[in-house]
Structure 1
Amino acid sequence: MRLLIFFILIFYSIPNMVNAQQRIYLYADSENNIIKNGFDTVKPYMEYYPATNHIANNQRTAILICPGGGFRYLAWEKEGVKPAKFFNSNGIDVFVLHYRVNDELLRGHEYPAQYNDANQALNYIYNHADSFHIQKNRIGIMGFSAGGHLAATISTLNPLNAGTITPSFTILLYPVITMESPYAHAGSKKMLLGEAPNADLIKHLSAEKNISPNTPPAIIIQAGDDKTVPVQNSIMYYEQLLTNHIPAALFIYDHGKHGFGMAENDSWLSQWPHEVINWLKSNHFL
């Protein structure tokens, strides 16, 4: 009887074991100057959310999600876990990035800490693609708000820098794109660049300035009534993609404001995740 109970418990625990989240730390314990004592509580990591419905084994698509939060905190559940579970249900593996942030007193981390964290994560996924059964040409990056700036920075700077991995596609939700006036998000700019950044750094981290013919295709989604991050951020990125003949889609909803996440309570706005799936399929990423 005890043996029977044991096998029953094992049987019912297998699905939970398969779909359990795996925390992957991005830096070795021996690496110094990654965290600041008294500010950080944990080293940068990502959580792996395996798909619950794989479309084709050994040909999986993966997305690295960068939650928003103005580079002060991470909207982990709203802009990380919830979209991860949606994409999981559509056969996509997801990694949610816990990158380094700052605070109003600037005691935390400025650029390039966040950029380095995203690159560490992207490199890990790429280098372990075979063990995850992920196709290396189907690894994309996604970002919300300030996380959108991180995703856009990776997507625009990496093609220009030898030795870095360029994502295959980019998904941007109400993204911070520019660091230049008048459309920069002041809070994100301060957290990322400090109180008085020089002009070269501002230009370097204005993603619309760095789009090239090698920038990956992108789908961009925002609400026209966003009073936090002006919708011109999305429009500028989209226009530069078109100028460089890069496949791009832009959805501007007439309502939603900033930070709508999955928009579960809005029957129209909540269709955006399905539009992303359709876009991925039409571009042969899924």
Structure 2
Amino acid sequence: MVPARSGPAAPSAAVLVLPGGGYERHADHEAEPVAEWLASLGIHAFVLRYRVAPHRHPAPLWDAKAALAWIRSGRHGLTVDGSRVGVLGFSAGGHLAATLAAGVPTGDDALDVNGSRPDLSILCYPVVSFESAVHQGSINNLLGATQSPELLAGLSAERTVTGQTPPAFIWHTSDDSAVDAGHSLRYALALRAARIPAELHVFPHGRHGLGLAAGVAGVERWTELCATWLAGHGWTSG
């Protein structure tokens, strides 16, 4: 993995971008274009094309944790503030981002440490639950035929929120026919129950997979809203 785009020379925030694609592929419009937008805010941006099917869990999560550790390490040569490293994920990439934020273990002790959690997360029409209104394609691609109730519960991000889960910005569209908006609602409610700050936007209309949503009435405002939220956390100059 290499930096997609970088921000200023002074130490700044960084965000790991996880494109969607149902754990089957990677949606290009949710990758480098998103990194370009983050760079325009003065944030270092890294795109990760994590392993997808036929690879199974925990391979994608291992990739994401390793990438987060690498970003914090500074070995890429950029001036990253290690206390401000976040994650942004779309759809199945949103699921990966949420499990990363929850500290779901991979079984690798070197990676499963507190430093492998992001400091905040941005979830865009995320797959969250593997138990309610499920996106079966993501489950099948990530788990294959091994879908025990315990594993499905353990990978349902709304169940894994704790007091250590970082703040989140979440958005969805109400009439998303691929991933039900209830996924975002469940995650936001779980964060609220754990007293974790969260901002949730559910736009009335818009298909699944909009990415930056340029030119899509109403939904295109998500980047502006998110930039304001990031500024409020001290991640941009406002």
1:49 paired to 2:5: yes
1:269 to 182, 195, 219: 219
Helix, strand or coil for the counterpart of 2:15? strand
> Which position in structure 2 is the counterpart of 1:69?
21
The Cα shift of 1:48 comes to 2.9
CA-to-aligned-CA distance 1:39-77 (integer Å, 9 cap, x gap):
xxxxxxx543112xx3xx43311100000000110002x
Task: Report the residue type matching 1:274 in the other structure.
Answer: E
> Which position in structure 1 is the counterpart of 2:124?
173
> Which position in structure 1 is the counterpart of 2:203?
253
1:215 paired to 2:161: no
Q: Distance in 2 between matches of 1:163 and 1:260?
A: 32
Q: Distance in 2 between matches of 1:212 and 1:83?
A: 28
Q: Is the 8 A contact 1:159 1:166 kept in 2?
A: no
Task: Report the residue type matching 2:127 in the other structure.
Answer: V
CA-to-aligned-CA distance 1:71-115 (integer Å, 9 cap, x gap):
110002x1011111111111111000011111xxxxx10101100
1:80 paired to 2:40: no
By relative contact order (CA 8 Å, sep 6+), the higher-ranking structure is: 2
> Which position in structure 1 is the counterpart of 2:98?
152
The answer to which of 193-202 and 115-124 deviates more is: 193-202
Query: Where does 1:1-286 land on structure 2 (aligned, <5 Å)?
Result: 24=1, 46-51=2-7, 54=8, 57-76=9-28, 78-102=29-53, 108-128=54-74, 131-157=77-103, 161-162=112-113, 164-180=115-131, 182-286=132-236
Q: Is the 8 A contact 1:129 1:136 kept in 2?
A: no
Task: Report the residue type matching 1:94 in the other structure.
Answer: A
Look at both structures and tell me which one has the larger radius of gyration over its CA atoms: 1
Helix, strand or coil for the counterpart of 2:190? helix
Q: Is the 8 A contact 2:103 2:114 kept in 1?
A: no
Task: Report the residue type matching 1:121 in the other structure.
Answer: A
TM-score by length of 2: 0.92
Helix, strand or coil for the counterpart of 2:118? coil
Helix, strand or coil for the counterpart of 1:187? helix
The Cα shift of 1:120 comes to 1.0
Q: Is the 8 A contact 1:129 1:135 kept in 2?
A: no
User: How has the CA–CA distance of structure 1 residues 129 and 249 changed in structure 2, closer, same or farther, with 3 Å as cutoff?
Assistant: farther
Helix, strand or coil for the counterpart of 2:71? helix
The Cα shift of 1:222 comes to 0.5
The Cα shift of 1:267 comes to 3.9
Q: Distance in 2 between matches of 1:188 and 1:162?
A: 26
Length, aligned pairs only:
231
CA-to-aligned-CA distance 1:199-234 (integer Å, 9 cap, x gap):
111111011101001100000011000111011100
| Structure 2: 5+ residue stretches without partners | 107-111
Q: Is the 8 A contact 1:224 1:257 kept in 2?
A: no
> Which position in structure 1 is the counterpart of 2:109?
none
User: How has the CA–CA distance of structure 1 residues 257 and 130 changed in structure 2, closer, same or farther, with 3 Å as cutoff?
Assistant: closer
Identity of aligned residues (%): 35
TM-score by length of 1: 0.77
Question: Which consecutive aligned stretches of 4+ in structure 1 deviate over 6 angstroms post-superposition?
Answer: none
Q: Is the 8 A contact 2:12 2:235 kept in 1?
A: no
The Cα shift of 1:162 comes to 3.1
